[in-house]
Structure 1
Amino acid sequence: MLYEFKTEDRFIDYYSQWIRIYKEGAVREVTLAKYKMAQAWVEKLIPDVSLQEMTRVAYQQLINDYAKNHERQTTMDFHHQLKGAILDAVDEGLIPHDPTRKIIIKGKTPKHKKKKYLNQFELHNLLSNLHLGNEVNWDYFILLVAKTGMRFSEALALTPKDFDFAHQTLSISKTWNYKGEGGFLPTKNKSSVRKIQIDWQTVMQFAGLTKNLPLEEPIFVHRKDDTYEPIYNSTVNGILARYCKQLKIPVISIHGLRHTHASILLFAGVSIGSVARRLGHASMTTTQKIYLHVIQELENQDIDLVMRSLANLT
């Protein structure tokens, strides 16, 4: 049942109903969880602020209070999760003026971030030491993510039917609900539905590995009676971390293998557009934003190359 709000009603009540109406069932569960987290912070920081009291000063104070415990990017995300509801309330005449206009985003100084990807030598060292037998194991999962740059949930959803060994391609058309009760889910966005070219060695390995497996059952998720066994990314990350420690290379996560894949391709001279399509990014802007550090390094290399070329012109 919908409640018709008045200007003196609490903003948190309006925001809760807004999430229920506009976000539940319309966004992925992981995205919905972010809105619910924003809702919890609003409840904590401004539980009694009414819609009419949501002025620019009140909203800036809310953002400032949130920023005390969060980095700038996280604060920016919090702002974006609130802004849609606030603008709707402005349109409905519940909030007199847009309080988000000219907002100043603050945040804690980012912590020193550990390296998230391996270089080509480190990746070669890792893949050379994987235990790849005749049966499916998590080492094969690590290999496939490293070779394709797939997301964790995409790789879990792979079935033998997704491989086209004759054309050396792998179709990504779904994800696995590993955070819920299992089962297939849609991809993150339309751009995530794609075909990835794979090398002949990977073709030979997975052709043999999947030969006798059910065509439409996930390769890396096993059934127990009538239900699928739960999968935790911490399990696979733990296996990968042990390899990294043994080999004395940077400890990265499975998602770090995706970063590694993209970084190696960019350093090899593959265009940003091709890398974006391979990763399933919605736009090249996303790729540029995530791999800015790599692109900057490449630009520095280009500058050195230009200077050397010009110096040789005599």
Structure 2
Amino acid sequence: MLDEIKKNDLFCEYYARWIAVYKQGAIRKVTMDKYLMTHQWVEKLVPNLQICEMTRIAYQQLLNDYALHHERQTTMDFHHQLKGAILDAVDEGLISRDPTRKAIIKGKTPSLKKLKYLNQFELHTLLTSLDLKGEVNWDWFILLVAKTGMRFSEAVALTPKDFDFAHQTLSISKTWDYKGAGGFQPTKNKSSVRKIQIDWQTVIQFSELVKNTPADEPIFVRGKVYNSTVNDILERQCKRANVPVITVHGLRHTHASLLLFAGVSIASVARRLGHASMTTTQKTYLHIIQELENQDVDIVMRSLSGLS
């Protein structure tokens, strides 16, 4: 298919065909959607650019124009999604030299995003107000996410056999396609496949709760699942408990924040959350880490002053 393309064909058309040939059916839908969005921006920014006109200057200008509307990290993602196609065009002789070499990534200054999470007292207040009946409901889901820090899609995909009650562990090895037609999907990345420890109270509660659920069936799926539905339920529970309103993802932040404040290492928190690297954890919880470092300075100063 791609060998029919000529140097003077439009780059946006070449990129669309490249996505169809190399990415369709090979990547997750959420990733595919990102490639299609990148293609839309290419059509918008360089609709008349021919493949042979993709020089270093033309490519840098494309990145610069995209960066006017996006933060640096988003521009970096845009660059990576284009680079594979462009390098293939170089290999095919459609472009004489690699125009992506030494590309400079720019972007708007990131807006300061303050994490929404509950402190220990607020979380305790919320959890004690939940309606934990003898059958599965979304309040049980809220409790489990708060206790484990799982992503929404990971928690929805849980089945009874993911629990090892004897060893107090929970295996996270899949997600649920709640944005699409449903069904199990791979995790976000390899690091997301993990086993995490759960406390004995959760063991007792869930061993009883899931005993009549088939081992391979998702515990919380009853028809179509919507993130917004669970967030609405959580919002009502937060208001009823008179604590700040957060989302299910905010429960994940709450879980991580409480562990960090309790003195758990960044490495352990990263593994528990399924982050690809500690850098992700450090970036996400920078303000908490800085606060803990300030406390460390106070401890150091008190220790040193006691030596005189």
Q: Same fold by TM (over 0.5)?
A: yes
Paired position in structure 2 for 1:302: 296
Kept in 2, the 8 Å contact 1:115–1:252? The answer is no
Q: Give CA deviations for 1:6-56 in whole Å, capped at 9, x if unaligned.
A: 322211122122222332233222111111111111111111111221223
**Percent same amino acid among aligned pairs?**
75
- In the TM superposition, 1:253-292 aligns within 5 A as 253-292=247-286
Q: CA deviation at 1:199?
A: 0.4
Deviations 1:107-154 (A, max 9, x none): 334345343322222222221221111111111111101111111111
1:79 maps to what in 2?
79
Q: Which residue of 1 aligns with 2:39?
A: 39
Gaps spanning 5+ residues in structure 2: where?
Answer: none
Whole-angstrom distance in 1 between the partners of 2:56 and 2:292: 42
Matches of 2:122 and 2:234, distance apart in 1: 13
Give the match's secondary structure for 2:53.
coil
Q: In the TM superposition, what are the counterparts of 1:3-152 in structure 2 within 5 Å?
A: 3-152=3-152
Residue pair 1:11, 1:50 contacting (<8 A) in 2 also? yes
Offset of residue 87 of structure 1: 2.7
Q: Which amino acid aligns with 1:58?
A: A
In structure 1, what residue type is equivalent to 2:271? R
TM-score of the pair, normalised by structure 2: 0.92
RMSD of aligned C-alpha atoms?
2.0
Residue 158 (1) aligns with residue 193 (2) = no
CA distance in 1, matches of 2:182, 2:67: 35
| CA–CA distance in structure 2, aligned partners of residues 7 and 299 of structure 1 | 56
- Alignment: residue pair count: 308
Say if 1:100 and 1:239 are closer, same or farther in 2 by CA, change over 3 A.
Answer: same
Q: For the structure 1 residues 83 and 294, does the alpha-carbon distance in structure 2 shift closer, same or farther, using more than 3 Å as the test?
A: farther
**Cα distance between partner residues in 1 of 2:88 and 2:296:** 47
Deviations 1:215-250 (A, max 9, x none): 22111012xxxxxx1111011111112233444433
Aligned partner of 2:195 in structure 1 is: 195
Give the Cα–Cα distance (whole angstroms) in 1 for the partners of residues 57 and 287 of structure 2: 36
User: In 2, are the aligned partners of 1:173 and 1:187 still within 8 Å (CA)?
Assistant: yes
Runs of 4+ in 1 over 6 A off after TM superposition: none
From the superposition, tell whether residues 300 and 102 of structure 1 become closer, same or farther in structure 2 (CA, over 3 Å).
farther
Give the whole-Å Cα distance in 1 for the aligned partners of 2:55 and 2:79: 15
- Shift in CA distance, 110/189, structure 1 to aligned 2, threshold 3 Å: closer
Task: Give the TM-score taking structure 1 as reference length.
Answer: 0.90
Would the aligned equivalents of 2:163 and 2:169 in 1 still touch at CA under 8 Å? yes
SS of 1:221's equivalent in the other structure is coil
**Bigger CA drift: 77-86 or 194-203?**
77-86
